Amino acid sequence: MRLLVLGGTGFVGGAVVREAVRRGWSVTVFNRGLHGDVPAGVRRLRGDRTAPGGLAALAGGGWDLVVDTWDGAPRAVRDAARALAGAVPHYGYISSGSVYAPPVAAGVGEEAPTVPAGADADDGDYAQNKAGGERAAVEVFGDRALLVRAGLILGPGEDIGRLPWWLRRIARGGEVLAPGPRDLPVQYVDVRDLAGWVLDRGVAGTGGAYNVVSRTGHTTMGELLDAAVAVTGADAVLRWTDPEVILAAGVEPWNDLPIWIPPGHEYRWLQERGVDRAYAAGLVCRPVTETVADTWRWLREVGQVPARAGRPPRTPVGLAPEREAALLARAEG
């Protein structure tokens, strides 16, 4: 297979490239050439897809599959899809579960409405950009467009820092604020499982929208944090705390305490999406212990969470130590 990745040096794009190389595919990446390296043997085309004439390097090429990880203005997806319409039969667009229009019910499936967005839009928020990117891909490729609505993505290379924050916090040891309930189901996908599924669907020529994330309850907050304690070898003690205590202190789920979305929260559906379609199409998710162990190994190798490819720095995730200490004291009181 001849694969073209638009991007290819970030978290998801990099995982797709590495998996394709592992399979022995011929791999080309297209990006500005300003961020990250590519594996040996990968061809790199340079261009800025947002600039006039920025797609010129793609002219005359031919591939079996393109994977696009873009999350900016939908117009850039439309322009790339049009430029590649005669050069590739299948367009895989990495989208997001965030495209669903609120209010979103638990168990939401791919048939649910998405937020209003135009394929030619110049800007929007994250959900609008991803929804518009989907429309742009479909506008050009029709049922040959694969819309990959990923959920929470974890694993080696994570450039947001959700699981790395937990690993580093637990590695420091001592009492750790663990947001309850302990058996709270967590829904996520390891980036390597996501990459493998996308390439498999590309080989099959699959089109349409898929919620590509594990079944809810593939792991729990307890299992995930226990795995982090085990793999770091730290003397950390998890202090499980009721959600009501944490929320009353103004702590923001997902950001202040990464991964955690408590029962009853308005965004709880993000970890309770319907995934039957993706599993029927071959999705397999590895155990959480493997994801945690491999992420810890990678984090120790690189030293710090990498910058996000082609994007401005974002506010770091995670609870400040003094806020955590105050919460622990309140919980014990």
pLDDT in tens, 273-331: 999 999 999 999 999 999 999 999 999 999 999 888 766 667 789 999 999 999 999 87
Query: Is the domain of 167 the same as that of 126?
Result: no
294 in any annotated domain: yes
For residue 86, give Cα distances in angstroms to 9, 61, 117: 25, 9, 26
Which pLDDT score is estimated for 216?
96
**Residue 36: per-residue pLDDT:** 83
Q: Which pLDDT belongs to residue 310?
A: 65
Task: Judge whether 222 lies within some domain.
Answer: yes
Q: Are residues 115 and 246 in the same domain?
A: no
The answer to whether the beta carbons of residues 251 and 327 sit under 8 Å apart is: yes
In a domain, 281, yes or no: no
Output the pLDDT for position 95.
Answer: 98
CB 3 within 8 A of CB 65: yes
For 117, other C-beta atoms within 10 Å of its C-beta total 20
Residue among 135, 142, 199 nearest 4 (CA): 199
Structural domain count of the chain: 2
237 with 295, same domain? yes
**123 and 245 in a common domain:** no
pLDDT beneath 70, residues of the chain:
310-313, 333
What is the domain extent for residue 117? 2-152+190-212
pLDDT in tens, 102-135: 999 999 999 999 999 999 998 899 999 999 999 9
What CATH number does residue 137 fall under?
3.40.50.720
Tell whether 110 is covered by a domain. Answer: yes
| 51 and 148 assigned to the same domain | yes
The number of beta carbons lying within 10 Å of the beta carbon of residue 173 is: 14
Q: At 142, give phi and psi (nearest 5°).
A: 60, -130
* CA angle (124 as vertex; 119, 129 as ends), nearest 5: 50
**Token pair for residue 275?**
């995934």
Helix residue ranges, H only, the chain: 11-22, 74-84, 126-141, 162-171, 191-204, 221-232, 243-248, 276-280, 288-302, 321-332
Same domain, 162 and 208: no
Q: For residue 241, is it within any domain?
A: yes
In sign, the C-alpha dihedral spanning 323, 159, 47, 212 is: negative
